[in-house]
Amino acid sequence: MSTEAENRFEEIKQIFIKYLEEHSLRKTPERFAIMEEIYNRGGHFDVESLYINMKNKNYRVSRATVYNTLDLLLECGLITKHQFGKNLALYEKSYGFKQHDHLICRECNKILEFCDPRVEKIKQMVEEFYDFTIEDHSLHFYGKCNNEECEGKQKKEVKPAE
């Protein structure tokens, strides 16, 4: 881990410690292991994949501990929860990452992230017009991948019988 990454992780850890102390919650090794696992992985994840990953690395955590820790990390702003039109909730780390929006393929469920400065300008215009302070936003576009590599298209292809 680079010095910059170590410093960022220490910042994240301190935010979590402060939150736990302010709410008189225990600072357990399991909670910090879960937080570290999240910040060492990329992209979106669900509870089950995080839990299995932790178990595969021989961490002694229960599903309940994973769920409870995710709730705490959500409350202190270190992760974000998404519901991309499916029943499955997905999470992603949020501290130190710029605001971004999502494209979701309905064929293969692939999630693409994008950042467009025009969205920020629209947000500012809405704030001014409605005299409203926007603290956060979520923008999701649903559709279909237009490329041949779309996993959903590959699954639906039926090969003729020989």
Residues 53, 130 within the same domain: no
Structural domain ending residue among the three candidates 45, 68, 97: 97
Asked if residue 115 belongs to a known ligand binding site, the reply is no
Residue 47's nearest CA partner among 61, 28, 57, 27 is 61
DSSP bridge partners of 114: 101
Question: Which pLDDT does position 83 carry in this prediction?
Answer: 80
Token pair 């994973």 is found at 66
- With a cut of 70, which residues of the chain have pLDDT below it? 1-2, 85-87, 96-98, 151-162
Asked if residue 108 belongs to a known ligand binding site, the reply is yes
Question: Which pLDDT does position 19 carry in this prediction?
Answer: 95
Residues 10, 88 within the same domain: yes
Q: How many residues does the chain have?
A: 162
Residues 103, 90 within the same domain: no
Range of the domain at 63: 1-97
Structural domain ending residue among the three candidates 79, 97, 115: 97
119 with 126: CB under 8 angstroms?
Answer: no
Question: Which pLDDT does position 3 carry in this prediction?
Answer: 78
Residues 28, 64 within the same domain: yes
Asked if residue 150 belongs to a known ligand binding site, the reply is yes
Tens of pLDDT, residue by residue over 59-99, are 989 999 999 999 999 999 899 888 876 667 889 888 766 67
Dihedral (Cα; 81, 26, 35, 135), 10-degree rounding:
40
Asked if residue 157 belongs to a known ligand binding site, the reply is no
**Alpha-carbon distance 76 to 73, whole Å?**
5
Residues 50, 115 within the same domain: no
Question: Which pLDDT does position 113 carry in this prediction?
Answer: 78
Q: What's the pTM value of the predicted model, to 2 decimals?
A: 0.71
Asked if residue 105 belongs to a known ligand binding site, the reply is yes
Residues 21, 77 within the same domain: yes
Asked if residue 120 belongs to a known ligand binding site, the reply is yes
What is the count of structural domains for the chain?
Answer: 2
